[in-house]
Every structure is written in structure tokens, then in C-alpha cells.
Amino acid sequence: MKDKIKSLLKKRKAIMLAHNYQPPEIQDLADLCGDSLELSIKASQTNAEVILFCGVTFMAETASILSPDKKVLLPCKNAGCPMADMVTPDDLKAKLDGFPPMPVVTYVNSSASVKALSTICCTSANVVKVVNSLDAEEIMMVPDRNLAGYAALHTDKKIHAWNGYCPIHDRLTPKDVLNAKQEHPDALFMAHPECRSEVLELADAILSTSGMIKYAGESKSSAFIIGTEAGLLYSLKKANPDKKFYPASIGMVCPDMKKITLDDIAASLEFMKGEVKVPENIRRPALKAVQGMIDLSI
Ligand code: 13P
Ligand code: SF4
């Protein structure tokens, strides 16, 4: 199956991008494994004719927003993101109506139509930079209340947070972390900003997924407790084979990130199945928000 996929990728002049939470066999096959920001940048810069995206819908949509002339394939159509579904364009418009005009900073974990209503996007890797780049005293942030809370600690601006959250990160409790710390007293605790503020308070470092891989590589410490989705443990071990990584809780598995199989990938490439294309009337305003974020980050 792996050889078949490699030859189909060549035949279709395709690049295979995978998020750090994808299963090991998919990470191993990908041309680039990364966090949301790295994958967006790559999707905006590739010469490939086809982008095969192993992740969830909002990631493939972001690739389509950035590369409208390429075919973007998501091998499993119903790999979504529950947090992205917690805000709709109509709900956002209704909420904004109740406030004076202010910029809207939208986490990339959102639909293309919500991005289209936004001033600028952000990821976990650049949220603080994005928020502080804006010439405004008040900012609306959607959809992640935890990411918004994290940003609020690093800015003088008043942040109005949408009440969304990632069910996988939000379920990690301080008790889980304290138990893990007791079991591994020498390990540093790295947390993703999608975790609750009381969990972030216990962290030695708060980072995006690729930020964690880099931090582990550069740190003098040889053991780490990981406060993010379980798939990252494979990427961490692969990049740092001599170091030890422990999940902060065994419950942190995103079912949507595990939906794509090697069979789906082969079928998608063979029959060009699973195309994700953002309509032009949404793509154009969404591009402004996504490109604004990329321009700040490269
Ligand atoms: P990053 O890899 O950008 O940190 O994103 C985490 C995430 O939840 C993606 O769904
Ligand atoms: Fe969405 Fe959370 Fe899954 Fe990421 S880990 S795709 S934010 S549900």
C-alpha cells in the first residue's frame, strides 16, 4: 500500500501534507508533517498540482483558500473539527452586532465562511504576534475560549472570547497533570494553548505541536509530559529518539484526526476523490484573513 501511494503521488504530481496528530503510518509517508501554521505556509508555496491533505476539513479548506488553482484532496470527507463547528457565520454576525466595531481574530480551526468574516486568522504558533499586531484596543476572538484566554495574558488589549473549545484539550484537568508530574517528577510539562487556563498555569512551556517538537529537541531535559493530542507522541519520539515522552492523560485522542486510512489515501489519489474547494465568494474574503496571518509569520 505504501509503494502504491508513493507511485500515485508521483503520477498525480501531488504533495502529501500531514498534521502532527495523524497516525504514524501516515506521518511516515508525508512529504511534510507539521503544525497548522507550517502546513498553511507549505500549501501556499508548493509547486505541486495536487495537495493531498491528511488532517481535518478546515485544514484542507485553508489549502484551497491559499491555492485555488490546485486540486486539494481530503482522503476522508467526514474528518471534521468539533471546535470549528462551534461557530457559524450567522452566530458570529449576531454577536458582532452587539459590540462596537472591532477586529475579529479567528483561529484557523474554523470554517472558511467564518474566516471570510474575519480580520485576520491565527494559529497556536502565532496567536500572540497576531493579536499584538492589530491597531485596536478591543478584539473579538473565535472560536477557542482557551486560546483567547492565553492570548489575553500576553496583551494589553481587551479580548472578547467566543465560548468554543476543543473537546480533547479542554478535558485535560489540573489533577491529570499533577498525577503525571507525580509519576514523572523530572519531566517538564508542555501544554497546548487549547488547554484550560488552570492547566496552562502548570506548564513549563505553552506551545503549538511543532513548537513542542522543537522545544524538546533544544531542551536540556530528557523527559516531558505532553498536554496535547496523543498523535504528537509519535512525532516527538521520532524527532527525539533519546528522550522520553509521557501523555498528561490517556484520554487525549481526537477521533477526527484518526479517520484517514492508507486505503482512503490510495483511493483518493487513484480516483481523485474527496476534493475540497472553497467557493470564490467565500474564498476571496477568507484569503485576506489567512494571507494576513501568513505575511506576519514568514
Ligand atoms: P497546531 O498543530 O497548529 O498546534 O494545532 C493543533 C490542533 O488542534 C489542530 O487541530
Ligand atoms: Fe479540532 Fe481538537 Fe481535533 Fe484539533 S484536536 S482537530 S482542535 S477537535
20 lines ligand 1 (CB under 6 A): yes
* Same-domain pairing of 156 and 93: yes
Average of per-residue pLDDT across 40-68: 95
234-247 mean pLDDT: 98
Atom 10 (ligand 1) nearest CA = 109
157 shares its domain with 290: yes
C-alpha pair distances (Å), 125 with each of 2, 97, 186, 228, 263: 31, 30, 26, 14, 32
Collect contacts of 132-139 with beta carbons under 8 A, ≥24 apart. 132/157, 133/296, 134/103, 134/105, 136/102, 136/103, 138/99, 138/100, 138/102, 139/102, 139/103, 139/104, 139/105
Residue 109 near ligand 2, beta carbon < 6 Å: yes
191 and 263 part of one domain: no
79 lines ligand 2 (CB under 6 A): no
118 Cβ closer than 6 Å to some ligand 1 atom? no
User: 111 and 149: one domain?
Assistant: yes
pLDDT average, residue stretch 201-219: 98
pLDDT tens for residues 128-177?
999 999 999 999 999 999 999 999 999 999 999 999 999 999 999 999 99
Based on the fold, state whether residues 147 and 9 are members of the same structural domain. Answer: no
- Given this model, what pLDDT does residue 91 score? 97
Under the banding of pLDDT at 50, 70 and 90, the label for residue 298 is confident
- CB of 109 within 8 A of CB of 144? yes
Same domain, 110 and 63: no
Q: What is the mean pLDDT of residues 245-249?
A: 98
Q: In what order do the strands lie in the sheet with 138-142?
A: 120-122, 104-107, 138-142, 158-161
Residues 291 and 155 in one domain: yes
Same domain, residue pair 107 and 64 = no
Query: Are residue 149 and residue 293 in the same domain, yes or no?
Result: yes
> Can you point out the beta strands (E) in the chain?
14-19, 32-34, 50-54, 71-73, 104-107, 120-122, 138-142, 158-161, 188-191, 205-206, 223-227, 244-247
- Do 161 and 88 reside in the same domain of the chain? yes
pLDDT class of 275 with cuts at 50, 70, 90:
very high
Q: What is the dihedral of CA 141, 106, 150, 135, to 10 degrees?
A: -70
**Number of domains forming the structure of the chain:** 3
- Ligand 2 mean position to 255 CA, how many Å? 9
Average pLDDT of the segment spanning 183-212? 98
- Quick one: which atom of ligand 2 is closest to the CA of 109? 7
Q: Which domain holds residue 212?
A: 172-251
The closest residue, in CA terms, to atom 2 on ligand 2 is 166
For residue 123, the domain's CATH number is 3.40.50.10800
123 lines ligand 1 (CB under 6 A): yes
Q: Is the CB of 256 under 6 A from ligand 2?
A: yes
Q: Do residue 74 and residue 88 come from a single domain?
A: no
